[in-house]
Structures are given as C-alpha cells and as structure tokens.
Amino acid sequence: MQNEKSNSAVAGAQSGNFIRNIVEQDVSNNKNDGQVHTRFPPEPNGYLHIGHAKSICLNFGLASDFSGLCNLRFDDTNPSKEDVEYVDSIQSNVKWLGFDWEDRLYYASDYFEKLYDYAVRLIKKGKAYVCSLSVDEIKKYRGSRTEPGQNSPYRDRSVEENLDLFERMRTGVFEDGDHVLRAKIDMASPNLNMRDPAIYRIKKDNHHRTGNKWCIYPMYDFTHCLSDSIEGITHSICTLEFEDHRPLYDWVLDELETPCHPQQIEFARLNISYTVLSKRKLLKLVEEGHVNGWDDPRMPTISGMRRRGFSASSIRNFCDRIGVGKREGTVDLALLEFSVREDLNNTSPRVMAVLKPVKVVIDNYPEGRSEELEGPYHPEDASMGFRKLPFSKTLYIEQDDFMEDPPKKFFRLSPGREVRLRYAYFITCTDVIKDESGNITEIHCTYDPATRGGDAPDGRKVKATMHWVSAEHAIKAEVRLYDRLFSELNPESSNDGDYTACLNPDSLKVLTDCYLEPSLAGAKPESRYQFERLGYFCVDSRDSKDDTPVFNRTVTLRDSWAKITKQKVLRQEQNVQKKKKKQDTISFK
RNA sequence: UGGGCGAUCGUCCAACGGCAGGACAACGGACUCUGACUCCGUCAAUCUAGGUUCGAAUCCUAGUCGCCCAACCA
C-alpha cells in the first residue's frame, strides 16, 4: 500500500478506541477462538461518502490489525431502492481507498433461500406468524412510546396455516401489503422494535440481482444478524441508531440454530461541519441539480472527493485521526483539510500556474528572445527531478500579487519595488498601464540579468517571491475553484432542516483564463500538483482534454496573508458597527 | 410522557480508581527563493449536586442537558 509511512506515523499518534479495546479483550480471552472477522455492509442505494470511509477504515483496519478478515457485503433486501450502479461504485470506492475483501464479496440476496428456511423454522417454533393487518392497522396495534401495543388478531394462527400462507406469499398469489411475516415477541415491550416486528414483506419488484425470482423480501433486522452469522462474523460494527435493534439482533440468533452469534457494537456516525452526510440528503442534492452528480467535486462522496483531488491515504489518515466513540459530535472541516494538505505536501510536484493573470512586460529584456530556466518539482525531495521553465519578455503574474497603493504589510509587487520571480530573476516595477475605466492592463518592469536563477550576487534581499508564466509559452486552462458546499456550520439544523437553503453560492468558481507552465502539457487525469502559493490541484477526470485541460482545486494552501486581510476586513466591519451604535445611542438621547 | 445511549480544552479523541494527555483550530516566535512546509512556544476541559474512597473524569445516587426509537427503509 502506498504511503505506509504517513499511515504508521498517524497510527503511532493515535490511541485505542472502545471497540478496539473490546476486540483486544475478546482476542486475549480467546473468544471466537481468538479470531476477528468483520464486515462492511452497505446498502447499494447511493454512493459511499466520507462517513462510510470511517466505517470501512474501522472494519478493515480492525481485521488487519488482529490478523483477521473483513468481508464486503451488500445489504440488498429492498429492491425498490437499489441499483447496480451503486454496487459498482461502492466496490470501486472501497478498492480505491486501499482495502481488499479478496474473495469475500457477498450479497444478502445470496442468502435469500437460507433466510427463507430460517423464517420457516421460526414459524415452526411458533415464533413467527403471518399477519394480515394493513400497514395502518399494524401501526395502530403497535401502541405508542408510552402505551403498550395490542396483539394482532392473526397472532395465534396455527403453525400449519402460517406455513401455508408464508409459502403462498412466496409463490406470488398475494399482492403487496396483503400479508407480512412477523416475529412473535412482545407487543408490550418498551422497545418498539420488539413489538412483533415485520421480518418479511411482499414486494413485487425486480431485484438487481435476483430479478423476479422473489416477490417477498426479508427485512433488515432479520437479514442482518443472520447474514453476519452465516459469514462467521465475530464483531458486527454499526452506527448508534441501531442500538435499539440489538435486542432484536440477539433475539433472532438466540431463537434459531445458527453458525455463530456475532456481537453487535455501535459507534457514533461521522458529522463534519459545513457538510451533509446522509445518502438520502446527498441524493436530493443530485436529483434537484444542486450539484452535478454524485461525483461532483463538492460532494463529500468518495467519488466526489477523489475527483476533487483527495488522496486515499489522506482520507484514511483523517479517519484514523477522528477516532471512534459513542458521542455524537461534529468534526471540524479544518481537520479534513489538514489531512489532505499534509499528504499532498509530501507527494505533489510543484508547478506554477497563474489563475487571474495580469500582463507583465520586462522592458529591458530583448524582444523576441527566450531562455530556459530550471526549477525542482519539489524543494525538499530531489528525487522528483526538475522541469524547464521558459522565460521571455512578456509574462503573466497573479493580479493579487500587485498593488498600486499597497498597505504596510503587503510585500509583493508595487511601483518602485523589487521582487523575485521564482527560479528566474529579480524584477522592479517601473510603470502601470490602465484602460479608460482604471483597470490595470499592463505592468512594466525591468529585470536584473545578474539575478538569473533567482539569487542576487551582491546578496541583496527581496521580501517576496512570486510565481509567473511566460505568456507565449504558457498553456491555457480552465480551473475550477471549489469551496465548502454549505455556508452554515450545521446545514441540517438551520433553516428548519432545509439544508438546501444554505448552499454556498460560491462553492464553485470557474476560471477560464488561466495560464499554466508548459511542463503541464499532457498532464494525466487525476494527477495532482501543487500550484505554488495557491493550493493543490488535480486534473479533472471527466472534463479535462489534452487541448483544453481542466484542473480542480482540492484545497488552498494555508494562507496567513489572507488571514491578515480577513482580520482587517472584520475589524473595519466592527468599527463601522461600533460607530453606528454610538450614533444610535446619541440620537436616542 | 416509555425505552435506549451519551456528556472531558473552541472541535475530535485518550486516560478503565493513582500527575487529565494527543491532534486540529487559535495565538506568538524562528526559519524560508512558496506569506507554504518545518521547528519552537502559548492558550485551553472533566455537565451539576451529593456519596464511597487515603485518592474519583473513572464507582454509586439524584438531577440537568443532548441524541436516537412508534417504515411492510437500512
């Protein structure tokens, strides 16, 4: 696996979690013969997101740390929501994240026949019955949180009748909703899940794998525990909302003679600030066109993050760092950003790109001449090699790198000031040319030929080093600047839960007039670079073409200058408000 | 108003009866041909009230607050 170094570095910093402690203890007590066997059990009804990555890392990670195994199992018991597109994307995502289920790819639908037999056994034991109440009636009979439920009038059907009915449910003589098979437990249980839960329903839907072979499908609570048991799972790890289901999980396995009885353990699902993590909510973003599909680089899906430029190891490191607990919390988006920067800083070649260009003319550089300079791909990793950087009379620099009337702390280019062009020359601004409306169209400079390569032989210093490209040699490109999808820290709890009301209008800015250094010609889809001083960028896998490259910004570099600017703006706003308050007070008097 | 679960720096996770620790964030500094990286430093927490104990974040009791549960979804 690549980046083992960074992973183990994180593993060293990370300490145990409560699930690991349980597993550790089980192994040392020789429970399950000291074996550890986990599984990642997605329903193929949507794309995987970073929250699933947490579960994947947990399940596969635990297995590998204890020399155990982890299965990939599709929990595909609801044909009306599931699709092969999702099955395919999930497999490719798990693989890409760096995990291997080897030959243990399973589907709950593989067990339909076995599950049916288990249901029959339950009926024979008098522990399940066919109920012919309607959905609404079942609801009424269930009672409420404070009141016990009532027994269904069909609860005491004979075993023979139940067997006959259940068999005919399977053959398709009934319509959807006519009957369900229910576990016979306790209609007065304080746990609603134990009030004779439905375990089989009629659904005349085409299943993505079994086609029209079945018209009855087992419910989650019946399927999951038995699937775990069939696969010999030792630790069945799931999220907190299934805590109330554990008694049912255990009940089914206790009532039936099964290969083993796995232990269900629940942990808190992942929340990230400025982000929505639920397949249902993400599906809505896709369906309503707020984003361009499941793999839109703004989506917290594995596919989206991959396209955005996240590396698999950065996601794995993030998952290690956030830990595993039972407390529902929200992880700071900054931690995710830190994790990508940390990884990409080590692995990305440096290049120069000018995103918002302004023309610079070097007046004392000979017309028509050009030369090749050289820069390392990584200042701290010589093994990445060097690339050529053509230099000529006309260049582009970043608009933000020039100010005609700079504030004190700004030390980039301004009239009369000398700065360094990275790996090239010192230049001094001599003149600024503007159009009628006052926009700067051209900056004129002189260069010092003695500073070739970027160092002054006389030892004089400059305060700033700037990136640049040669106008005639640069490659034109489209660059997509991504920012957080939501402007609220917790999109789900604001605006009465309508998270689409706080979509960030600036989550995507498309820049079509960008210039890249020529070494970027033919950059492969998904390859990642650091555009020096700007951020990490990745060749878009979908829209980039050789003649019209498209780059996605994964994340900006940390930027203390931007921070200073932001603070200044904030302070100004505060001052304005203070003044206003003062005035209000005065006028009130 | 029944049941289940949870509560530790701003955020996330540790500490399993014995010095509350790490990471991110924030702040300050050093370094710098990226205002990046790196390095150093600073700030900062046990929900409340009782109890057990030589000793409590940890155990007990009561309370407070938060999350989940009444799909023929998973």
> Is the C-beta atom of A134 closer than 7 angstroms to strand B?
yes
Q: Which of residues 5-64 of A touch strand B (CB under 7 A)?
A: 13-18, 21, 41, 43
What pLDDT, on a 0 to 100 scale, did the predictor assign at position A573? 73
**Which residue is nearest nucleotide B21, judged by alpha carbon to C1' distance?**
A15
Q: What is the mean pLDDT of chain A?
A: 94
Closest CA to A224 of A259, A249, A250: A249
Query: Which strand B nucleotides have any atom less than 7 A from protein CB atoms?
Result: 1-8, 10-16, 21-27, 33-38, 66-74
> Is the C-beta atom of A420 closer than 7 angstroms to strand B?
yes
d(CA A425, CA A397): 13
What pLDDT, on a 0 to 100 scale, did the predictor assign at position A37? 98
In chain A, count of helices (H) and strands (E)?
14, 25
Q: Which of residues 263-282 of A touch strand B (CB under 7 A)?
A: 268
What pLDDT, on a 0 to 100 scale, did the predictor assign at position A581? 64
Q: CA A161 → CA A131, A158, A201, A514, distances in Å?
A: 11, 5, 17, 74
**Which residue is nearest nucleotide B70, judged by alpha carbon to C1' distance?**
A144
d(CA A313, CA A319): 10
Q: CA A563 → CA A329, A488, A558, distances in Å?
A: 27, 20, 9
Q: Give A568 CA → B22 C1' in Å.
A: 33
A277, A270 in Cβ contact below 8 A?
yes
Residue A361: helix, strand or coil by DSSP? strand
The terminus-to-terminus CA distance of chain A in angstroms comes to 72
Burial profile A275-302: b = 16 or more Cβ within 10 angstroms, e = fewer: bbbebebbeebbeeebbeebbbbbbbbb
Phi, psi of A440, rounded to the nearest 5 degrees: -75, 125
**Tokens, residue A162:** 């139940």
Q: Give A500 CA → B48 C1' in Å.
A: 38
Q: Give A71 CA → B70 C1' in Å.
A: 33
The most distant pair of C-alpha atoms in chain A lies apart, rounded to whole Å, by 102
Residue A164: helix, strand or coil by DSSP? helix
Q: Which of residues 279-318 of A touch strand B (CB under 7 A)?
A: none
Q: Give A135 CA → B71 C1' in Å.
A: 9
* CB neighbours of residue A537 within 10 Å: 30
Strand segments, DSSP code E, in A118-176 are 128-131
> Is the C-beta atom of A417 closer than 7 angstroms to strand B?
no
What pLDDT, on a 0 to 100 scale, did the predictor assign at position A587? 52
One-letter amino acid of A179 = H
What pLDDT, on a 0 to 100 scale, did the predictor assign at position A586? 53
A523, A510 in Cβ contact below 8 A?
no
d(CA A484, CA A307): 15
d(CA A168, CA A284): 38
- The torsion region of residue A527 among left (phi > 0), alpha (psi -120 to 50) and beta comes to beta
**Contacting residues for A191 by C-beta, under 8 A, at least 6 apart:** A244, A247, A248
Phi, psi of A211, rounded to the nearest 5 degrees: 60, -125
A401 DSSP assignment: G
Closest CA to A362 of A435, A418, A453, A429: A429
What pLDDT, on a 0 to 100 scale, did the predictor assign at position A549? 97
Nucleotide nearest to A271 (CA to C1'): B12
> Is the C-beta atom of A350 closer than 7 angstroms to strand B?
yes
> Is the C-beta atom of A145 closer than 7 angstroms to strand B?
yes
ipTM over 0.85: yes
Q: Which of residues 219-248 of A touch strand B (CB under 7 A)?
A: 219-221, 223-224, 240-245
Nucleotide nearest to A42 (CA to C1'): B74
Q: CA A466 → CA A69, A268, A351, A411, distances in Å?
A: 51, 46, 12, 11
Tens-place pLDDT, residues A342-366? 999 999 999 999 999 999 999 999 9
> Is the C-beta atom of A455 closer than 7 angstroms to strand B?
yes
Please write down the HEC assignment for all residues of A428-476: EEEEEEECCCCCEEEEEEEECHHHCCCCCCCCCCCCCEECCEECCCCEE
Question: For chain A, which ranges sit under pLDDT 70?
Answer: 1-15, 578, 580-589
Can you give the length of chain A in residues?
A: 589
Q: For the whole prediction, is pTM greater than 0.90?
A: yes
Burial of A235 (0-12, 13-18, 19+ CB in 10 A): buried
Nucleotide nearest to A238 (CA to C1'): B74
Q: Give A319 CA → B12 C1' in Å.
A: 11
Q: Give A534 CA → B16 C1' in Å.
A: 46
> Is the C-beta atom of A453 closer than 7 angstroms to strand B?
yes
Active site residues of A: 43, 269, 279
Q: Give A368 CA → B36 C1' in Å.
A: 34
Q: Which of residues 527-556 of A touch strand B (CB under 7 A)?
A: 530, 532-533
- The structural domains of chain A, ordered by start, are 7-267 (3.40.50.620), 279-349+477-566 (2.40.240.10), 356-467 (2.40.240.10)
**Tokens, residue A521:** 């010609």
Q: Give A327 CA → B67 C1' in Å.
A: 9
> Is the C-beta atom of A250 closer than 7 angstroms to strand B?
no
d(CA A469, CA A539): 19
Q: Give A507 CA → B21 C1' in Å.
A: 38
A389, A462 in Cβ contact below 8 A?
no
